[in-house]
Amino acid sequence: MKSIAEQRIQIYNSLSGTKEEFVPLHGNMVGMYVCGPTVYNNVHLGNCRTFISFDIIFRYLKHLGFKVRYVRNITDAGHLENDADEGEDRIAKKARIEEIEPMEVVQKYTVDFHKTLAKFNTLPPSIEPTATGHIVEQIELVKQILDAGFAYEVEGSVYFDVLKFNESSTYGKLSGRKLEDMIHNTRETSGQSEKHNPQDFALWKKAQPEHIMRWPSPWGDGFPGWHLECTAMSTKYLGKHFDIHGGGMDLKFPHHECEIAQGEAVSKCSPANYWVHANMLTLNGKKMAKSTGNNILPDEIFSGKNEIMERPFSPAVTRFFMLQAHYRSVLDFSNDAMLASEKGFSKLMQGLSLLDSLDTAKETTGFDFVEWSQKCFNAMNDDFNTPILIANLFDAVKFVQNVNDGRESITREDLNDLQKTLHNFVYDVLGLTEEQQGGDHYLEDALQLLIELRNDARKRKDFHTSDKIRDELSKAGIVLQDGPQKTTFTLK
């Protein structure tokens, strides 16, 4: 097996549309920026999938020995409701509905965001800057873009000149959109009258009298455009050119496209080498949307207080469910999928629980630990392919079960290596925990009692009773496995 230092990672780069070998700009130092939430509502499950996906990337790079500076922002400055630079401020709108101050909205939903991600066992980022904490940097960035000739000011608002930028670069290269097509398909709206071109986007917006969140600037009282904050904060903490920029697939256009334009306007280079995007989460085959009622919040899953799941599922099982699909694929959330994930998670954890009680031998057969270990690394090296990694982990669990049942053997040295590697990938890389849904321990205690009663029946040669316990549990989806040391169980 190669040493950890020799592992070579391939990352799918949305900018090139291909997998590329990951070569950090500065040796073993990695800079990664991920667009965080706009804190005006409870974090939804689709957002959680994105942040869990980048948690995996963060964890794996750290596991390989890279020193990672992971920056994930909090958007706590009110931005407008759509990409046409018009509509109502989202945070101010929520404050009006809940009859509280905008920063109370920010605090309430920032706390919810942190609590929810903690339940999913995600690691906190290295730096978590806020938009309101970087107004000075954003104003300075607007000045730089104006000085470079890629922006213009109109009545207290400043807009990025997309056509001017496109003369020296390519606007749309990340999303694959052509500016000519965008111009042809654009319909004029009331909010675009002061722009030179409909495709131009706001860097700074003049605040109307009713706009609560506002700051003084050289162009008058206003607030930053949505795309500006990420360029300002990523530049401040990672430099003008860094390794990885990530976010949800829905941010590719216009948000990340505009970030590239802003970055190139002042630094003449793309902000990041690798643009990484996590795909969407659907619910019962349809897009999640509060407006249609096809939506579920994480805490509704954990508590079971919803009309979609037949019972509660723990954060660990929900995280495991998400990791069973590649981060770039669409993943459908359903009751059946969660039930299947719960069984798989239980099987994985039961396999790990057997490691400490396995008997060892002088020789081992049927399992090449070195080859298996490298397969685990290969899976993660291939664009962080957690489904393939999990399949490899189940191969090891099957072998562990065979050793427990006396059908295979393992040396003490290999057992130590297996324990360490399984621990590293299950807990450190995948970030899974052994937590159980509240009340599950009562069911497990009851099951252990049934196993003891069956073992007593077998000792008395009361095979009718022992077989009945085994068969009835099997009908319920619980398979008993008799090993030389003890009887264990798995879920079908």
Nearest to residue 204, comparing CAs of 217, 187, 185? Answer: 217
In sequence order, which residues have a C-beta less than 8 Å from that of residue 332 and are 6 or more positions away? 281, 282, 283, 284, 285
Residue with the larger pLDDT of the pair 489 and 406: 406
Sign of CA dihedral 372, 321, 313, 451: negative
Q: Which CATH number fits domain 4-278: 3.30.70.1400, 3.40.50.40, 3.40.50.620, 3.20.20.70?
A: 3.40.50.620
Question: What share of the chain in percent tops pLDDT 90?
Answer: 74
Sign of CA dihedral 130, 136, 140, 146: positive
Category of 187 on φ-ψ map: left (φ > 0), alpha (ψ -120 to 50) or beta: beta
Alpha carbon 205 to its chain centroid, in Å, reads 31
Residue with the larger pLDDT of the pair 458 and 488: 458
Asked if pLDDT for residue 348 goes beyond 70, the answer is yes
Nearest to residue 396, comparing CAs of 377, 415, 413, 382? Answer: 415
Alpha carbon 441 to its chain centroid, in Å, reads 29
Domain residue limits, the chain: 4-278, 282-429, 440-491
Query: DSSP class of residue 195?
Result: S
- Three-class SS state of 277: strand
Q: For position 484, what pLDDT does the model report?
A: 65
Are residues 234 and 266 in contact, defined by beta-carbon separation less than 8 angstroms? Answer: no
Confidence band for 5, pLDDT divided at 50, 70 and 90: low
99-154 pLDDT per residue, tens: 999 999 999 999 999 999 999 999 999 999 999 999 999 999 999 999 999 999 99
Q: For position 190, what pLDDT does the model report?
A: 44
Sign of CA dihedral 257, 258, 259, 260: positive
Q: For position 320, what pLDDT does the model report?
A: 98
Question: What share of the chain in percent tops pLDDT 70?
Answer: 91
What is the pLDDT averaged over residues 402-421? Answer: 93
- Three-class SS state of 491: strand
Asked if pLDDT for residue 435 goes beyond 80, the answer is no
Kindly report which listed range (92-96, 379-383, 468-472) carries the lowest average pLDDT score: 468-472
Q: In the structure encoding, which two tokens stand for residue 368, read together?
A: 């090449």
b/e 55-67 (16+ beta carbons within 10 angstroms → b): bbbbbbbbbbebe
Q: In the structure encoding, which two tokens stand for residue 353, read together?
A: 């629980």
Q: For position 212, what pLDDT does the model report?
A: 87
88-105 pLDDT per residue, tens: 788 988 999 999 999 999
Whole-angstrom Cα distance, residue 213 to residue 85?
15
CATH fold group of domain 282-429? Isoleucyl-tRNA Synthetase; Domain 1 (1.10.730)
Are residues 241 and 267 in contact, defined by beta-carbon separation less than 8 angstroms? Answer: yes
Amino acid at 25: L
Q: For position 90, what pLDDT does the model report?
A: 85
8-53 pLDDT per residue, tens: 999 999 999 999 999 999 999 999 999 999 999 999 999 999 999 9
pTM listed for this prediction: 0.89
Whole-angstrom Cα distance, residue 77 to residue 229?
9
Are residues 350 and 396 in contact, defined by beta-carbon separation less than 8 angstroms? Answer: no
Q: In the structure encoding, which two tokens stand for residue 217, read together?
A: 């600037």
When the pLDDT of each residue in the chain is averaged and rounded to a whole number, the result is 91
Asked if pLDDT for residue 187 goes beyond 90, the answer is no
Whole-angstrom Cα distance, residue 63 to residue 102?
40
Kindly report which listed range (190-199, 245-254, 467-476) carries the lowest average pLDDT score: 190-199
DSSP codes, 350-392: HHHHTGGG----SS--S--HHHHHHHHHHHHHBT--HHHHHHH
DSSP codes, 115-139: HHHHHTTPPPPSB--BSGGGHHHHH
DSSP codes, 415-456: HHHHHHHHHIIIIIIS-------TTHHHHHHHHHHHHHHHHH
Are residues 171 and 212 in contact, defined by beta-carbon separation less than 8 angstroms? Answer: no
What is the pLDDT averaged over residues 241-258? Answer: 97
Q: For position 185, what pLDDT does the model report?
A: 77
